[in-house]
Structure 1
Amino acid sequence: MLTVIKNLLGYIRPYKLLTSLFFFTLLLDLAFVSLAPLSFKFIIDKAIEPRDIDTFFLILQVLVISGLICLSSGIVSDYVLAKLNARVQTDLRRKLFVQMQHLNISFFQKARSGDLVSYFSIDLPAIEGAMTSILTTGIQSLSVVVISTVVLFYLQWSMAIFILVGATVIFAGPYLLGRRAQKINAMYKEQLTSMTSDIQENLKAQKVIKGFNLQTAMIDKFNVRLKSLFISSYSKNVMNAQLERIPMISLLLINFTIIGFGSYLALKGHITVGSLVAFFTMYTSMGNSVFNLTFTIPAFTEALVSMERIGQLLNQPREETGGSESAQLKQRHLGIQVDNVTFGYHAKQPVLKQINMNIPACTTVAFVGSSGSGKSTMVQLLLGFYEPDKGHIRINGSSLRALDRSLYRGQISVVFQDNFLFQGTLLENIRISKSDASLDKVIEASKKAEIHDYICTLPDGYETQVLDEGGNFSGGQRQRLAIARAILRDPPILLLDEATSALDPISEASINQTFEKLSHDRTVIIVTHRLASITGADHIFVFDQGELVDSGNHLQLLEKDGFYKKLWDKQSGLAISHSGQEASIDNKRLSRLPFFRGVNLDVLKEISNLFTTETFAAKQTVIHEGEPGEKFYLIVRGKVEVTKWTPHADKQISLAVLEDGDHFGEIALLENVPRTATVTAMTPCVFLTLQRKVLYYILSKYPEINALVRQTLQERRK
């Protein structure tokens, strides 16, 4: 309880004038409320019994004037408290929001967005309610109790002692239940926060839910959550009822005691009738105040839990701001050196191992490798999202740790694979990277990103509103808007993390030409799995399982016949039309598939013509676990995730991420068996597919390869 009061005083301390005005007006209000019952003594003893009409009217005049002053003070205190509460809430919201902006990126990767929203939607309202309750009902009731106690001792000390003993009994119950009530409230808020997160997650995952036909599973999961919340809510309501019921019972017992004892004293002539009426009236006022005071106890308990939760967030370590060096960042041309860097998201689990690389200023480099190789993690280190566990990243020779992190990021533009659009207009979303940019500059950047013509077709043009994180635009359109945003900043360093993955082939080729033009006077770092797009890079760094396994330009790496050559061979021999709707594979590429290895190239040429093209949008399900398998898939373009449903965990677990040149579903070429996993497109995808009945036709036509293909497929299945 003291912790809550201490925190509330801390919240209102910056507003000394407003706080002083509130307590002054509240004091006038309380003085009248507390002392008004005492007027019965004077009216009865000084006016009614002596039949003194002048004194009667004089007392009434004093009461009316005092009442008007009290009423005016009460109205003023209401307005002042409303403003004080609003300012405190604004301060807390600002403090929480500012803290969130400066937290490490790792914090957001661990926390659910619903949990963070609950600080604003659940905890701050709890503090606001407690502040209103304590500064009105709490202070008023406590003041009435204190003043009434003094007056009661003045009227009859023996009965006042009974009341003090009774007050102790009234608060003993809530005090003893306090810790348990706090624990129950904490559990309730945790369950409520989890439910909020579940709903928020469900709303964002509707395509996946409908694609996997998970509606029933989601309802069952939500019902389980509701059962937990019901138990927690029930316990909280019972506890709050107990916190109110125990004082009420104690108050009734004290009432009966005081009525009997007070009447006895009046019968014996120890007190006057006026004193008895005043005592009962004063005690009734005091009893009501004590009872009202007990109503603030649940508010105290709830506020304490919320204050502890908010305190935990505010005490989270902030992101490193770097040092104070800024001279290097004033140069237009920035080079990057990575010296023996090792990093892991978890202790003793390195994702990057002893990485060394040199990226000269004004060069274009590419990070390539299979999914999970560490290339995107390297980008996050270059952005300063994380600090290396070992080694250093240097910008023009200065350690990134020593540079002003804010100024450093001001020299970078980044385009991620999944780009976020903010609520507002298209103009505001593009201009967010450079708030002072003119409309002409925005249009110029939009033209380079090839989104200007589309924007002009919209009724509101650049003033078109972005809805639901950009849900009213396609993935490709969102990507072009993000590219326009990056171009507008005109930075010394441009980071492109799978920047063209959501674009069709024509758009990708055109955007890559734009990036090539932009690379002449800046350092460009491209992260991609599509090797054909970075053949002109000055230097290519090849990652595999967290290690830098090779580097050089495209031709040098092909001559080395290493890991890069394997990646290149996997993706070469696949072609896609400009429209992105038709794909093909040559017989040499087909011969590198395990089950076609050793087959005559002329036969493979015939087989290659039997493949058909299929396209899938991002987040669309390619195959469902459990459905009959009848075709083989080869990824010509795009990225998919392979997942499997685990009943004991009641969720989908990720098995693998496949990219250009990878294949899946070859067991379906052998026999009709149910799919053992679900495959979902992570980006727009183009597949070459081969049906089992088509392969059987080829095998029947060429009996000499029948046994070879079947044997290889059987081995793959094992």
Structure 2
Amino acid sequence: MQLFKKFAKYYKPYKAVFFLDMLCALVVSAVDLAFPQILSILTKTFFTQQSNVILNGLLKLGLALFFMYVIRTACRFYVTYQGHVMGAKMESDMRQDLFDQYERFSFSYYDRSNTGEMMSKLVSDLFDISELAHHGPENIFISAIKIIGSFVLLLMINVPLTLILSAVVVVMVLFSLYQNDKMQETFMDNRRKIASVNASLQDSLAGIRVVKSFANEEMEHKKFQTSNQQFLVSKESNYLRMGIFHSGNNFFEGMLFLTVLVAGGYFIAQGTLNAADLAVYALYINIFINPIEVLIEFTELLQKGISGFRRFTEVMETVPEIQDDPNAAELTNVKGSIDYKDVSFRYNEEESVLEHINVHVDAGRSVALVGPSGGGKSTLCSLLPRFYDVTSGAVCIDDKDVRTLTQQSLRNAIGIVQQDVYLFGGTVRENIAYGKPNATMDEIVEAAKEANIHDFILTLPDGYDTFVGERGARLSGGQKQRISIARVFLKNPPMLILDEATSALDNESEQYIQKSLDKLAHGRTTITIAHRLSTIRNADEIIVIDNDGIRERGTHETLLAKNGLYAKYYNMQFQGK
């Protein structure tokens, strides 16, 4: 019932269409039920009169029936067309809600989730939900009217025969309910297996360059084959259950006809039923069985839709780990001082990453974090824009705990340049404008000039309207990095995080990028993570951090003079130079 209530709320914006759809379905059902009754009445009254009376009345009768079926056709069209459109709109609403929910999740959710499986929930699951949204109420409503209506009319023809028929229907329903539970299990398993197929596909295609560079196509073939084969086995199990379900119900449908024939013949022999009434009875049996067949066929759609909606609600009911406080304030008039106050952090129940970290950065000053991989440098930076929340302690900007600020205003005040640059599929102009979606072309060009990428862009075939390819595949690493820097120039935030922004570049590209970064960092509070120590010599403070926490801190010169861990790293990089 809870699942039904959650599903029903998506009908709310389309109440008018829904109720008109049900009205049209009612008209269609009424016409179908009326025809055998009209035939029965005409057989006993109209067609027993003289031939001239029959001939004179046929035109009126034909026009009346023609008008009735024109109305039925119009109603059938509305049910088919607008009903499907309503289902598609509900699917679109659910897809938007699911996408928005994905956007709310913190990095922790993506750390433990697979993109392929998430896409499966967003696309294939919701298609089946759309079909259920349209066909569900319509099929149930029409079938209920036809079954109840035809059952009442069957009782009016012959009560004993109808009661015998009911016994067969009860056995048929019990069989269907039992098989329905079995089918539901297989449909849920189908969902999990196809999500696994999507995950394997996404993983292989996203890493296709690595696959080919290691000539590991055969390995990927086997990995995909495994998930694909598991899905096939799941489908086979599903089709076995469907085969038992459908063939069993077809058998019971045959038993209904057999019951009518044998029991009807017995009642004719007893003189309690005439042959004409049995013929009309047989017509109503067809109307009675047809909605049963529809419901049987609908069961497959129902199970697919329910299993898909369950997976949908699992995501929608997942509470984002990082949310705005109900009284969260906007971060305004940012000066840019940063404080990490006794900060500790761990991922779930895993081993602690950071323990009792204290760092202060004055507004407009620069701090560099150095140390071995896995020491917590990137994690420390991720706590500032609340990509993760501290386990204990507090991160403050201008003496305001970041947890008391709205995420949007907080992140608008922070610019991030990462080692792994992500460019969206689109043009150079669109990618730079991502830093400020409403930016003018002049602002975009100015940002590109600040990032030393403008002249290069002009050499491209379509200039700023040149497509960069998926993830910027048509550009070099240095070019992508400068576009990402232009993006941050355009955003113009008071605080910066530079996360190993030059570590993946060659020396020449590094020099260009470093000039752009120096210009970008001027006058802004900056936290830099760097492995190349030559890029941080001018930092106001350098903090050496490893698995044991903060080991050393000071300027480049003072740390070299200490001849400690920083000096060791520096000498390792520059020995022989």
Residue in structure 1 matching 2:561, options 559, 562, 580: 559
Q: Tell me which amino acid in the other structure corresponds to 2:29.
A: L
- Check conservation: 2:121, 2:312, Cα contact below 8 A: yes
Partner residue, 2:196: 194
Partner residue, 1:176: 178
Query: Are positions 1:473 and 2:475 aligned together?
Result: yes
Structure richer in strand, relative to its length: 1
- Distance between the aligned counterparts of 1:408 and 1:151, measured in 2? 69
* Number of corresponding residues: 573
Partner residue, 2:44: 45
Rate the CA distance shift 1:395–1:462 in 2: closer, same or farther, 3 A.
same
The more displaced of 112-121 and 142-151 is: 142-151
User: Which runs of 5 or more residues in structure 1 are unaligned?
Assistant: 574-584, 587-718
- Check conservation: 2:366, 2:539, Cα contact below 8 A: yes
Q: Deviations over 1:482-541 (max 9, x none)?
A: 111111111100111111223332332233233323333211111111111100001111
Identity %: 28
Rate the CA distance shift 1:132–1:163 in 2: closer, same or farther, 3 A.
farther
Partner residue, 1:13: 12
- Check conservation: 1:40, 1:274, Cα contact below 8 A: no
The alpha carbon displacement at 1:56 in A equals 5.3
Query: Are positions 1:260 and 2:262 aligned together?
Result: yes
- Check conservation: 1:374, 1:546, Cα contact below 8 A: no
Q: Deviations over 1:417-437 (max 9, x none)?
A: 112111222111111111122
The alpha carbon displacement at 1:168 in A equals 1.6
- Distance between the aligned counterparts of 1:43 and 1:272, measured in 2? 17
- Distance between the aligned counterparts of 2:106 and 2:88, measured in 1? 29
3-state DSSP class of the match of 1:340? strand
- Check conservation: 1:332, 1:492, Cα contact below 8 A: yes
- Distance between the aligned counterparts of 1:100 and 1:219, measured in 2? 30
The alpha carbon displacement at 1:221 in A equals 2.3
3-state DSSP class of the match of 2:290? helix
Q: Tell me which amino acid in the other structure corresponds to 1:359.
A: V
1:355-434 residue pairs with structure 2 within 5 A? Answer: 355-434=357-436
Rate the CA distance shift 1:268–1:250 in 2: closer, same or farther, 3 A.
same
3-state DSSP class of the match of 2:349? coil
Partner residue, 1:306: 308
TM-score normalised over the length of structure 1: 0.77
3-state DSSP class of the match of 2:515? helix
3-state DSSP class of the match of 1:465? coil
- Distance between the aligned counterparts of 1:358 and 1:101, measured in 2? 31
Rate the CA distance shift 1:175–1:32 in 2: closer, same or farther, 3 A.
same
Rate the CA distance shift 1:196–1:565 in 2: closer, same or farther, 3 A.
same
The alpha carbon displacement at 1:267 in A equals 4.3
The alpha carbon displacement at 1:269 in A equals 3.6
The alpha carbon displacement at 1:546 in A equals 5.1
The more displaced of 7-16 and 142-151 is: 7-16
- Distance between the aligned counterparts of 1:251 and 1:518, measured in 2? 77
1:259-338 residue pairs with structure 2 within 5 A? Answer: 259-323=261-325, 324-326=327-329, 329-338=331-340
Residue in structure 2 matching 1:148, options 125, 147, 150: 150
Query: Are positions 1:439 and 2:441 aligned together?
Result: yes
- Check conservation: 2:362, 2:525, Cα contact below 8 A: yes
1:607-646 residue pairs with structure 2 within 5 A? Answer: none
The more displaced of 533-542 and 505-514 is: 505-514
Q: Tell me which amino acid in the other structure corresponds to 1:465.
A: F
The more displaced of 531-540 and 170-179 is: 170-179
- Distance between the aligned counterparts of 1:345 and 1:527, measured in 2? 21
User: Which runs of 5 or more residues in structure 2 are unaligned?
Assistant: none
1:585-600 residue pairs with structure 2 within 5 A? Answer: 585-586=576-577
- Distance between the aligned counterparts of 1:569 and 1:346, measured in 2? 37
- Distance between the aligned counterparts of 2:459 and 2:201, measured in 1? 36
1:426-505 residue pairs with structure 2 within 5 A? Answer: 426-505=428-507
Partner residue, 2:248: 246
- Distance between the aligned counterparts of 1:210 and 1:88, measured in 2? 42
Rate the CA distance shift 1:8–1:391 in 2: closer, same or farther, 3 A.
closer
Q: Tell me which amino acid in the other structure corresponds to 2:121.
A: Y
The alpha carbon displacement at 1:64 in A equals 2.1
Q: Deviations over 1:647-681 (max 9, x none)?
A: xxxxxxxxxxxxxxxxxxxxxxxxxxxxxxxxxxx
3-state DSSP class of the match of 1:424? coil
- Check conservation: 1:45, 1:274, Cα contact below 8 A: no
Q: Tell me which amino acid in the other structure corresponds to 2:547.
A: Q
Residue in structure 2 matching 1:165, options 140, 144, 167: 167
Q: Tell me which amino acid in the other structure corresponds to 2:532.
A: R
Q: Tell me which amino acid in the other structure corresponds to 2:109.
A: F
The alpha carbon displacement at 1:362 in A equals 0.2
- Distance between the aligned counterparts of 1:337 and 1:298, measured in 2? 58
- Distance between the aligned counterparts of 2:573 and 2:411, measured in 1? 34
Query: Are positions 1:532 and 2:534 aligned together?
Result: yes
The alpha carbon displacement at 1:334 in A equals 1.1
Residue in structure 1 matching 2:79, options 77, 86, 110: 77
- Check conservation: 1:47, 1:56, Cα contact below 8 A: no
- Check conservation: 1:449, 1:480, Cα contact below 8 A: yes
Structure richer in helix, relative to its length: 2
The alpha carbon displacement at 1:30 in A equals 1.5
- Distance between the aligned counterparts of 1:120 and 1:307, measured in 2? 11
Give the superposed CA RMSD. 1.9
The alpha carbon displacement at 1:560 in A equals 1.6
Q: Deviations over 1:37-76 (max 9, x none)?
A: 2222112211334455156555444322211111112112
3-state DSSP class of the match of 1:322? coil
- Distance between the aligned counterparts of 1:561 and 1:44, measured in 2? 111
Structure whose CA Rg is larger = 1
Q: Tell me which amino acid in the other structure corresponds to 1:532.
A: S
The alpha carbon displacement at 1:459 in A equals 1.4
- Distance between the aligned counterparts of 2:101 and 2:548, measured in 1? 32
TM-score normalised over the length of structure 2: 0.95
- Check conservation: 1:363, 1:519, Cα contact below 8 A: no
- Distance between the aligned counterparts of 1:205 and 1:149, measured in 2? 61
- Check conservation: 2:336, 2:397, Cα contact below 8 A: yes
- Distance between the aligned counterparts of 1:47 and 1:325, measured in 2? 79
The alpha carbon displacement at 1:200 in A equals 1.2
Partner residue, 1:629: none
- Check conservation: 1:322, 1:400, Cα contact below 8 A: no
- Check conservation: 1:142, 1:293, Cα contact below 8 A: no
- Check conservation: 2:334, 2:398, Cα contact below 8 A: no
Q: Tell me which amino acid in the other structure corresponds to 1:295.
A: E
- Check conservation: 1:104, 1:318, Cα contact below 8 A: yes
Query: Are positions 1:30 and 2:32 aligned together?
Result: no
- Check conservation: 2:87, 2:131, Cα contact below 8 A: no
Partner residue, 1:600: none
The more displaced of 222-231 and 105-114 is: 222-231
Rate the CA distance shift 1:515–1:509 in 2: closer, same or farther, 3 A.
same
- Check conservation: 2:366, 2:540, Cα contact below 8 A: yes
The more displaced of 172-181 and 534-543 is: 172-181
Q: Tell me which amino acid in the other structure corresponds to 2:46.
A: A
- Check conservation: 2:425, 2:470, Cα contact below 8 A: yes
- Distance between the aligned counterparts of 2:33 and 2:456, measured in 1? 71
- Check conservation: 2:369, 2:545, Cα contact below 8 A: yes
Higher relative contact order (CA 8 A, sep 6+): 2
- Distance between the aligned counterparts of 2:387 and 2:407, measured in 1? 10
